[in-house]
């Protein structure tokens, strides 16, 4: 038994180390080419390379916004514009006394960061297209202002770009400056991407409600990312102004935004190497196809259309050989309830008793009373079944407890203290976790990463610490990974840890959701039809697992259609009808309850 748990993590560890090496080789090669490029002593190639580095500094940050967080920020070229004009104007002294170019570059980054947040704010509340349009509008407005504010920007005539003094003076000095900053941007974004913040971003992109249930606060995280991506864009702008040596509003065409986008999409969402290669290739390509220069934007746009329609997953998906390997056909899920104690931490008896209590809860949708004066108690160490016909308010009740709906009346308490309404991401702090009727998982992430998302709130390091890969960040990662493997072993799926979640069968997804919920070391576990779509044998194993977790002190609320599962494992059952309690009691009492039978049979 101990063998199985000990050997599992080790095997997995080796495989991912190999994966890391494969990735590193490409980066080392790229780095060497970059370092040694000056030996060619070809200034034309040098300029192209500098432009590629500058574009990559911007797209590295944008990659987090677009590729990871899934926010379609199509007008990010505005950060380049802002950074360029800020650096140029401060250096030239058109608005203030002239600044030192390096200080002006930093100011460009700061302005970019501020603009990133301003443009990003709507993403916290608005639908995708609105956000896309906001960024596009911002880009349009920035250009209009650059044209109109003649005293500072020189209007349509333009303004000279900054010249950086030694050690990064024009020529190869500036080349290395761009190179170093590009390498730094790569390193920092890679750190974020592989941290709990990176996984949280992807979760927001592909499984937003599950992210909230795991305690991920979307606003704070997105603002941090917009800040970071805006700063990188601003710095890229300052460098761009220097490279161009003279900037006009024409230099910042929308075409550049499209280029960034294609680079990210073609490279593949959720990859860093892909978009980096994409940026380099797209920057260099037009230089070697001179007759096509006037067609370049058209071709970029056509390429974008083709990518979106034909390979929305990008090249990274096409090259993902590891995930083409066929999986074993007849897989079995064999949960190990005996491991629950370790996953949940400590032994069951040492955990305190606690109770979630709902009193007189009412919830209306328009004129419909979805919940109509409901009392309910979920106690630790018990499995509480919630059954009833369609539309009787079962899932709605679960959504009230987990904070998705705000009831119109009533009280909800946890051990006597008020449990605030409508704050889904705050539930993780109370160690209340849940699963969903349709599994909400990140299909493009590995099973392991999906489960790790459930433990996001247990990390201690800050966003900045993750950017710089400081010790606390590394410790968080180690702990989360170990805990996730443990949780996977508990539900019986550790052999699939490295597989992309969207390759799994439906029943496996249900168990992964439970593993993710266990990552929170929950005091309460809310399960929304966990048996739907499972085979009879799987339902039996699921029942044992649920039962065992309640014996470890977890309070379980089980919403289910499968009457037999309810009657098998529940300590208490509440039957809802039309938003009210029709009956409550032990399974045996309910089974013989005439009204319940008729509510189910409609007789």
Partner 1 sequence: MFASIVSYGLAVGAVYALIGITYNVMFSASRVFSFTAGMLGMLGGVLGALFITEWGLPTIVGLVLVLACGAVLGIVTEIVTVRPVLKSIDQHLYVLSTLAFALMIQQLTAIWWGTDARPFPRLIPIGPGWLDQQFWLPMLACAVTIVGLELLYRKTLIGRAFLAIAEDAYAARALGLPETGLRMASYALAGMIGALAGFSGAEILLAFFGNQAILNFYGFVPVALGGMGSNRGAVIGGLALGVFQQAANFLVGGIFAAVAVFAVFIVVLLLRPEGLAGAATARRV
Partner 2 sequence: MPTSAPNPMVEPLLKISGLSAGYGKIGVLNGIDLTVGAGEIVALLGPNGAGKSTLLKAISGLLPRTGTITFGGQDMSKTGPREAVNAGLVHVVEGHRVFTQLSVHDNVMLAGYGMKGSELGTRVGEALRFFPEIAEKRNDRAVTLSGGQQQMLAVAQGLVRRPRLLMLDEPSAGLSPVLVDRVLAAAAQLRDAGTAVLLVEQLIEKALKLADRVYALARGSIVLEARTNEDDLPNRLEHAYFGQDVSAPLAS
The residues that touch partner 2, with contacts defined as CB under 8 A, are 389-391, 438, 505-506, 509, 529, 532-533, 535-537, 539-540, 561-565, 597, 600-603
Among partner 1, partner 2, none, residue 603 binds (CB under 5-8 Å by kind): partner 2
Q: Does 265 bind partner 1 (CB under 8 A)?
A: yes
Nearer to partner 1, 121 or 284 (CB): 121
- Tokens standing for 433? 């976790």
Contacts of 554 (CB under 8 A, 6+ apart): 344, 380, 381, 522, 523, 524, 525
Nearer to partner 2, 51 or 562 (CB): 562
Among partner 1, partner 2, none, residue 561 binds (CB under 5-8 Å by kind): partner 2
Among partner 1, partner 2, none, residue 140 binds (CB under 5-8 Å by kind): partner 1
* CA separation, residue 97 to residues 89, 150, 247, 494 (Å): 10, 17, 20, 62
Count of residues engaged in binding partner 1, rule: CB under 8 A: 46
Stretch that binds partner 1, among 126-134, 241-249, 467-475, 509-517 (CB under 8 A): 126-134
- Tokens standing for 4? 């199985």
Nearer to partner 2, 97 or 328 (CB): 328
Stretch that binds partner 1, among 11-19, 104-112, 133-141, 386-394 (CB under 8 A): 133-141
Q: Does 72 bind partner 1 (CB under 8 A)?
A: yes
Q: Is the dihedral of CA 437, 438, 444, 448 positive or negative?
A: positive
Q: 355: helix, coil or strand?
A: strand
Beta-bridged to residue 418, according to DSSP, are: 413
Q: Does 254 bind partner 1 (CB under 8 A)?
A: yes
Nearer to partner 2, 229 or 527 (CB): 527
Identify whether the C-beta of residue 83 lies closer than 8 Å to the C-beta of residue 112: yes
Identify whether the C-beta of residue 410 lies closer than 8 Å to the C-beta of residue 377: no
Tell the smallest beta-carbon distance from residue 116 to partner 1 (Å). 14
CA separation for the pair 146, 94 (Å, rounded)? 13
Q: Does 44 bind partner 1 (CB under 8 A)?
A: no
Among 130, 165, 505, 598, binds partner 1 (CB under 8 A): 130
Among partner 2, partner 1, none, residue 31 binds (CB under 5-8 Å by kind): none
CA-nearest of 59, 54, 88 to 162 is 88
- Range 421-480, binding partner 1 (CB under 8 A): 436
Only one residue has tokens 């199509």, namely: 74
Identify whether the C-beta of residue 434 lies closer than 8 Å to the C-beta of residue 398: yes
Tell the smallest beta-carbon distance from residue 439 to partner 2 (Å). 9
Nearer to partner 2, 529 or 552 (CB): 529
Alpha carbon 185 to chain centroid, angstroms: 19
Among partner 1, partner 2, none, residue 6 binds (CB under 5-8 Å by kind): none
Contacts of 511 (CB under 8 A, 6+ apart): 333, 335, 491, 492, 493, 542
Tell the smallest beta-carbon distance from residue 270 to partner 1 (Å). 14
CA separation for the pair 443, 202 (Å, rounded)? 10
CA separation for the pair 431, 171 (Å, rounded)? 57
Tell the smallest beta-carbon distance from residue 135 to partner 1 (Å). 10
Alpha carbon 368 to chain centroid, angstroms: 35
Tell the smallest beta-carbon distance from residue 143 to partner 1 (Å). 9
- Tokens standing for 306? 């083709």
Identify whether the C-beta of residue 238 lies closer than 8 Å to the C-beta of residue 123: no
Among 5, 94, 248, 297, binds partner 1 (CB under 8 A): 297
Q: Does 590 bind partner 1 (CB under 8 A)?
A: no
Nearer to partner 2, 369 or 458 (CB): 369
Nearer to partner 1, 50 or 395 (CB): 395
Contacts of 175 (CB under 8 A, 6+ apart): 37, 38, 46, 49, 50
Stretch that binds partner 1, among 6-14, 128-136, 380-388, 425-433 (CB under 8 A): 128-136
Identify whether the C-beta of residue 360 lies closer than 8 Å to the C-beta of residue 374: yes
Identify whether the C-beta of residue 241 lies closer than 8 Å to the C-beta of residue 87: yes
Residues that bind partner 1 (CB under 8 A): 72, 74, 118, 121-122, 125-130, 132-134, 136-138, 140-141, 144-145, 148-149, 209, 254-255, 258, 261, 265, 294-295, 297-298, 300-302, 304-305, 308-309, 312, 365, 395, 399, 404, 436
């Amino acid at each position: 038994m101990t063998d199985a748990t000990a050997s599992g993590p080790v095997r997995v560890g080796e495989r991912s180390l190999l994966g890391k090496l494969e990735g590193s080789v490409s980066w080392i090669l790229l780095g060497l080419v970059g370092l040694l490029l000056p030996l060619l002593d070809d200034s034309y190639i040098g300029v192209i390379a500098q432009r590629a580095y500058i574009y990559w500094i911007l797209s590295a940050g944008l990659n987090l916004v677009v590729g990871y967080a899934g926010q379609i920020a199509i007008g990010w070229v505005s950060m380049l514009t802002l950074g360029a004009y800020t650096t140029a104007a401060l250096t030239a002294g058109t608005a203030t006394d002239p600044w030192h170019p390096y200080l002006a570059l930093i100011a460009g980054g700061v302005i970019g960061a501020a603009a990133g947040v301003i443009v990003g704010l709507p993403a916290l509340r608005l639908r995708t297209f609105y956000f896309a349009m906001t960024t596009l509008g911002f880009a349009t407005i920035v250009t209009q202002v650059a044209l109109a504010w003649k005293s500072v920007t020189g209007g349509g005539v333009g303004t000279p770009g900054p010249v950086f003094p030694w050690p990064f003076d024009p020529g190869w000095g500036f080349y290395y400056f761009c190179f170093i900053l590009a390498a730094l941007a790569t390193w920092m974004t890679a750190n974020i991407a592989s941290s709990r913040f990176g996984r949280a971003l992807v979760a927001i992109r592909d499984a937003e409600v599950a992210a909230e249930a795991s305690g991920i606060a979307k606003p704070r995280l997105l603002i941090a990312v917009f800040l970071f991506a805006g700063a990188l864009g601003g710095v890229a702008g300052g460098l761009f102004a220097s490279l161009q040596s003279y900037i006009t509003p024409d230099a910042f065409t929308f075409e550049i935004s499209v280029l960034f986008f294609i680079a990210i999409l073609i490279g593949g969402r959720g990859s860093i190497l892909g978009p980096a290669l994409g940026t380099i290739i797209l920057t260099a390509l037009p230089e070697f196809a001179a007759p096509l220069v006037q067609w370049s934007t058209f071709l970029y746009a056509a390429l974008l259309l083709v990518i979106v329609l034909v390979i929305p997953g990008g090249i990274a998906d096409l090259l993902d050989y590891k995930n083409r390997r066929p999986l074993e056909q007849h897989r079995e899920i064999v949960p190990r309830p005996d491991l629950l104690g370790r996953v949940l931490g400590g032994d069951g008896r040492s955990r305190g008793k606690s109770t979630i209590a709902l009193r007189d809860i009412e919830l209306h949708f328009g004129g419909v009373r979805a919940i109509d004066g409901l009392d309910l108690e979920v106690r630790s160490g018990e499995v509480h079944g919630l059954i009833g016909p369609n539309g009787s308010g079962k899932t709605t009740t679960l959504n009230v407890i987990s904070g998705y709906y705000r009831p119109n009346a009533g009280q909800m308490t946890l051990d006597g203290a008020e449990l605030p309404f409508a704050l889904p991401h705050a539930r993780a702090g109370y160690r209340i976790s849940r699963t969903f009727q349709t599994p909400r998982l990140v299909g493009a992430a590995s099973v392991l990463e999906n489960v790790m998302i459930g433990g996001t709130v247990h990390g201690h390091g800050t966003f900045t610490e993750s950017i710089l890969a400081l010790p606390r960040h590394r410790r968080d990662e180690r702990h989360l990974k170990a805990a996730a493997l443990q949780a996977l072993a508990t539900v019986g799926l550790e052999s699939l840890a490295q597989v992309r979640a969207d390759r799994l069968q439906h029943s496996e997804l249900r168990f992964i959701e439970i593993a993710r919920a266990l990552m929170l070391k929950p005091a309460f576990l809310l399960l929304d039809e966990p048996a739907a779509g499972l085979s009879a044998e799987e339902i039996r194993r699921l029942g044992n697992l649920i039962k065992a977790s309640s014996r470890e002190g977890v309070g379980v609320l089980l919403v289910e259609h499968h009457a037999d599962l309810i009657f098998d494992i529940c300590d208490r059952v509440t039957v809802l009808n039309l938003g009210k309690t029709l009956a409550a009691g032990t399974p045996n009492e309910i089974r013989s309850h005439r009204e319940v039978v008729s509510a189910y049979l409609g007789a």
